[in-house]
Structure 1
Amino acid sequence: MGSGNAIRGSRVGAGPMGEAERGEAAPRVWVTFYCANRHESRPSFATDVAVPDQWDCPRCGFPAGKDPQNPPAPPRNEPYKTHLAYVKERRSDADGEAILEEALSKLRNERAAIQAAMARARN
């Protein structure tokens, strides 16, 4: 015997939903776009909006255009650069040596000051 739940198997919003409940659909126009991989996609647009010149291909993600003979070129991906590669673009080897020498001399001076303070504290 069932649990007595009268709405079992239903959910909020369940039921037939037709044009009368949703409203009239806007008039549509289908536009064909072609990507560099020769994929063809046909998204639909409302007739009262401006159709874009390019559209992202849903299969490969490349940009797609309206001309099948001349699709847009795929974007050029730059290789991943490390932080060191960016630093080397901004600094020459001589700059790096000078910065390193400055940092080492600062560390040496700090270490000498610490050792001198420890020597004074012992005496």
Structure 2
Amino acid sequence: MTGGNTIRGMRIGGGPTGEAERGESAPRKRVDFWCAHGHHTRPSLAVDAEVPDRWDCPRCGLPAGPDADNPPEPRRNEPYKSHLAYVQERRSDAEGVAILDEALAKLRERRGR
């Protein structure tokens, strides 16, 4: 037997949680999307919201589009690039040698050679 006058399952200050307390929800519409694996997703959007042209499939993560017959292509995963790879894209070998020679000349000048 329990003692006291507690109400189980309630917290102090807790009241009804319904439409009257939270306000009315915005009008909604359902939009259909399909991914390349044929998964069908139907998110609920506000009526006045702009419908996106792509939606991430919650089952496989691929992009999904509104046309079931022509779903969007999966994103291409780019391999990780190091800082050196980005520098090599911007500079030619001749530019790299010129920059290195300039830096070495400044270093030798500071050392007094």
Normalising by the residue count of structure 1, what TM-score does the alignment of the two structures yield?
A: 0.66
Residue 64 of structure 1: SS of its match in structure 2?
strand
Query: CA 1:107–1:46 in 2, change beyond 3 Å: closer, same or farther?
Result: closer
Q: Distance in 1 between matches of 2:26 and 2:109?
A: 77
Letter aligned with residue 56 of structure 1 = D
% identical aligned pairs? 67
CA drift of 1:34 comes to 0.4
Number of residue pairs matched by the alignment: 113
CA deviation digits over 1:17-48, x for unaligned, max 9? 44555555555443321011221112223445
Letter aligned with residue 6 of structure 2 = A
Residue 96 of structure 1: SS of its match in structure 2?
helix
1:85 to 2:88 alignment: no
1:64 is matched with: 64
Q: Distance in 1 between matches of 2:89 and 2:50?
A: 43
CA deviation digits over 1:76-119, x for unaligned, max 9? 23222111111111212222222222222222222127xxxxxx
Normalising by the residue count of structure 2, what TM-score does the alignment of the two structures yield?
A: 0.71
Q: Distance in 1 between matches of 2:93 and 2:48?
A: 60
Query: CA 1:12–1:29 in 2, change beyond 3 Å: closer, same or farther?
Result: farther
Q: Distance in 2 between matches of 1:66 and 1:106?
A: 60
Structure with a larger share of its residues in helix: 1
Unaligned runs of 5+ in 2: none
Give the structure with higher Rg (CA).
1
Q: Distance in 2 between matches of 1:79 and 1:31?
A: 34
Question: What is the 5 A alignment of 1:1-123?
Answer: 4=4, 6-7=6-7, 9-11=9-11, 14=14, 17-19=17-19, 21-22=21-22, 25-47=25-47, 49-112=49-112
Letter aligned with residue 85 of structure 2 = A
